[in-house]
């Protein structure tokens, strides 16, 4: 799924779902790609908790109805991935705020690498975004 435009967006691709009947059932491993103009990053080992995803969809649905407030989705690992949709003003305009971080070894040092920022969203995109995230929960 892509949220945003060609030059400013967040992409999520489901790579794995924990099967029914085992601990953490329904949790998703996703590949997240963030592009903010010339800055971009991708990480293919982001885990999203099923319950957190369902709560995010509820908040998105409320945001779509009221055109005010925010909805926040965060990865299971702290500071690895966060995605927030929020109203920008009373006229129904929205922004997405995103942060993607991972660590990489370079010699003996464990370096944090990240990309974060935000972008505007067309209000007409919100129903599609809600539908896409709902499909992740219901699958």
Whether residue 24 is predicted with pLDDT greater than 90 in this model: the reply is yes
pLDDT at residue number 118:
98
pLDDT tens column, 33-53: 999 999 999 999 999 999 999
Quote the pTM value: 0.92
Tokens 């400013």: give the residue. Answer: 8
**Distance (Å) of CA 46 to CA 62, 79, 87, 94:** 26, 11, 26, 25
Strands 81-87 and 28-36: unpaired
Confidence (pLDDT) at 5: 95
| Helix spans in the chain (H) | 50-66, 126-138
Topology annotation, domain 2-138? Transcriptional Co-activator pc4; Chain A (2.30.31)
User: How would residue 91 be classed by pLDDT, with cut points 50, 70 and 90?
Assistant: confident
Model confidence at 92, pLDDT cuts 50, 70, 90, reads confident
Share of the chain above pLDDT 90, in %: 87
Mean pLDDT of 42-71: 96
| Residue 132: band (very low, low, confident or very high) from pLDDT cuts 50, 70, 90 | very high
Share of residues in the chain with pLDDT > 70 (%): 100
């Amino acid at each position: 799924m892509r949220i945003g435009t060609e030059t400013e967006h967040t992409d999520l691709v489901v790579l794995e779902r924990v099967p029914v009947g085992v601990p953490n059932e329904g949790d998703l491993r996703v590949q997240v790609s963030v592009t903010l103009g010339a800055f971009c990053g991708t990480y293919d080992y982001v885990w999203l908790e099923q319950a957190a995803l369902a709560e995010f969809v509820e908040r998105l649905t409320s945001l779509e109805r009221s055109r005010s407030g925010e909805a926040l989705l965060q990865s299971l690992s702290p500071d690895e991935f966060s995605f927030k949709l929020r109203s920008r003003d009373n006229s129904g305009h929205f922004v997405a705020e995103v942060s993607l971080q991972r660590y990489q070894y370079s010699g003996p040092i464990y370096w944090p690498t990240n990309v974060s920022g935000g972008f505007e969203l067309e209000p007409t995109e919100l129903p599609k975004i809600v539908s896409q995230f709902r499909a992740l929960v219901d699958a």
